[in-house]
Structure 1
Amino acid sequence: MTHLACTPECYAPDALQVQNLTVRYGQHTALEEANVTFHLGELSAIIGPNGAGKSTLLKAILGLTPDVHGEVTFGGRQDVRRHTAYVPQQQTLDWAFPVTVWDVAMMGRTGRLGWLRWPGRADRERVKAALEQAGVYDLRQRHIGELSGGQRQRVLLARMLVRDAAVLLLDEPLTGVDQATSAQLLSLLRGQAEQGRAVVMVTHDLEQAREWCDHLTLINRRIIADGTPQQVYTPHNIEATFSRSALAYGHQEA
């Protein structure tokens, strides 16, 4: 299997830092005074109930939300999007669009190519490597509308990987995939973190997050708890995040 080379910035001693971040949609406050740091070399999970502000946090980091107060920096600089690759939720995308798996992965090179330059040999090699790493190179000529949920997620991961970004943000990448595919995707993300990237994913699966991640952030419109799984995964924090009913499902302190 071919592995993507990591650019030097991936290994820089920097971090993605969110400071006093508040996001409002009209009169509704979706996220309030959020402070959290995501370090290079770590796989992090953002966890919380529906409507808790998880996706809002990712979009605010990328500058995709309208009414934002606070600051987001990478390595102390505000040009965060230049260092970031993003995988949105599957249901937000048009899977009927007439493109192949190869085309979708190549879209990840657009930021580096610009709109007026055609992909060269290096770009094609990078796309091939990403598709191989995501396990979908054999599907490269397939139309995206023909793929299963798990295959689509792998294609989105390949598109993310070809950007060679230092920070990878994924919004519910494990939703709609079976257990075996979920484990494979987590292994791939774990590998990206070990290469020196900051990998941040939104997930609903507490047990998988505790097993695979270095860093957990519990959120419910504000940051409830933030730290290692051992620090964060306690009955008190789970209750504060999800309500008392969460304890009935067997979540115990680590």
Structure 2
Amino acid sequence: MLGAQHLTVRYGTHPALEDATVNFRAGTFTAIIGPNGAGKSTLLRTLVGLVAPTEGAVTYSGPGLARDAIAYVPQQQTLDWAFPVTVWDVAMMGRTGRLGWLRWPGRADREQVRAALEQTGVYDLRSRHIGALSGGQRQRVLLARMLARDARILLLDEPLTGVDQATQEGLMSLLRAQAQAGRAVVMVTHDLEQARAWCDHLVLVNRRVVADGTPEQVYSPRNIEATFSSSFLAHTHAEA
């Protein structure tokens, strides 16, 4: 459904991503994994259209326009949580792309938002100001906004950061269910073990795509070393 073909992204003279080719298919839960500064978020933002590639292209195949097919959840720290809106308001923002700015939400839109809030477990918080939420609650609200959009491709940047273990398990279960329902789900994460346990497609990135395939194909000492450095590999072996 969505792909990167020989993508290179530079910020000035700094190469953030080089010659990256990878495809994300419907019905697949993908984790993009790598160290800080590896180009993971740059790859995701380029797929969304927020960053223009220096070279290469983003490809999309499916009904409608790519912008209508994609829902994007950025990192929590990039958002203004002091903005005066409620949980319901944020989830309803997921319908804006479907409605346009000049149309009011109808009954079907409200039902879609209600279902998204219930699915993510925050419907009871619908009247609460977003600034009063915990980290885990905020992440669930962002997921509700994503689900309210009813997109075919779901892109999430570090959704596990700042939430407790129980919340992480719930989020991963929800995302895997979305993939099983036929959507393409793509998540940036640092957590290799979580990704290995829940995802059926792993992409290891360190400015380039180091490895791309199933967990069984990708998870090898050579690939981990190339992605995270030899010090990470030694630490992993020491804990085994």
Normalising by the residue count of structure 1, what TM-score does the alignment of the two structures yield? 0.91
**1:14-25 → structure 2 map (5 Å cutoff):** 15-25=1-11
Contact 2:7–2:53 (8 Å) recurs in 1: no
2:112 maps to what in 1?
Answer: 126
- Percent identity reads 74
1:72-151 aligned at under 5 Å gives the runs: 72-75=58-61, 79-151=65-137
1:251 positional shift: 5.8
Give the partner amino acid of 1:194. Q
- Counterpart code for 1:184: G
Paired amino acid for 2:74: P
1:63 corresponding residue in structure 2: 49
- 2:51 is matched by which residue type in structure 1? T
Name the CA distance, whole Å, in 2 between partners of 1:114 and 1:224.
Answer: 40
**TM-score normalised by structure 2 residue count:** 0.96
Q: Which amino acid aligns with 2:75?
A: Q
Q: Distance in 2 between matches of 1:209 and 1:225?
A: 14
Q: Distance in 2 between matches of 1:213 and 1:78?
A: 27
1-structure distance, mates of 2:53, 2:149: 28
Q: Which amino acid aligns with 1:51?
A: G
Q: CA deviation at 1:145?
A: 0.2
Amino acid at match of 2:3: Q
Matches within 5 A, 1:30-49: 30-49=16-35
Counterpart of 1:233 in structure 2: which amino acid? Y
Q: Which residue of 2 aligns with 1:172?
A: 158
Hey, what's the Cα distance between the residues in 1 that align with 2:201 and 2:221? 17
CA spacing shift, 1:77–1:141, aligned 2, 3 Å: closer
Question: Aligned partners of 2:37, 2:16: CA distance in 1, in Å?
Answer: 8
Structure 1: distance between partners of 2:37 and 2:77: 16
Q: CA deviation at 1:79?
A: 4.1
Higher alpha-carbon deviation: 242-251 or 197-206: 242-251
Deviation (angstroms), 1:90: 0.1
CA deviation map 1:140-197 (0-9, x unaligned): 0000000000000000000001111110000000000000000000000000000000
Decide which of 229, 238, 242 is 2:215's aligned counterpart. 229
- 1:142-221 map, 5 Å: 142-221=128-207
Alignment-mate amino acid for residue 205 of structure 2: I
Question: In the TM superposition, what whole-angstrom CA distance separates every residue of 1:53-95 from its partner, at most 9, and x where no partner exists?
Answer: 0000011111111453211112179942221000000000000
* Pair 40,90 (structure 1): closer, same or farther in 2 beyond 3 Å: same
Structure 1, gaps ≥5 residues long = 1-14
TM-aligned CA distance change 1:230 to 1:63, over 3 Å: same
How far apart, CA to CA, are the structure 1 residues paired with 2:63 and 2:235?
A: 42
DSSP 3-state at the match of 1:142: coil
Q: Do the aligned partners of 2:178 and 2:185 also contact (CA within 8 Å) in 1?
A: yes
Q: Per the alignment, in what secondary structure is the counterpart of residue 61 of structure 1?
A: helix
Q: Is the 8 A contact 1:235 1:251 kept in 2?
A: no
Q: How many residues of Structure 1 are paired with residues of Structure 2 in the alignment?
A: 238
Secondary structure at 1:162's aligned position in 2? helix
Unaligned runs of 5+ in 2: none
Q: 1:143 to 1:45 in 2, by over 3 A?
A: same
Residue in 2 aligned with 1:5? Answer: none
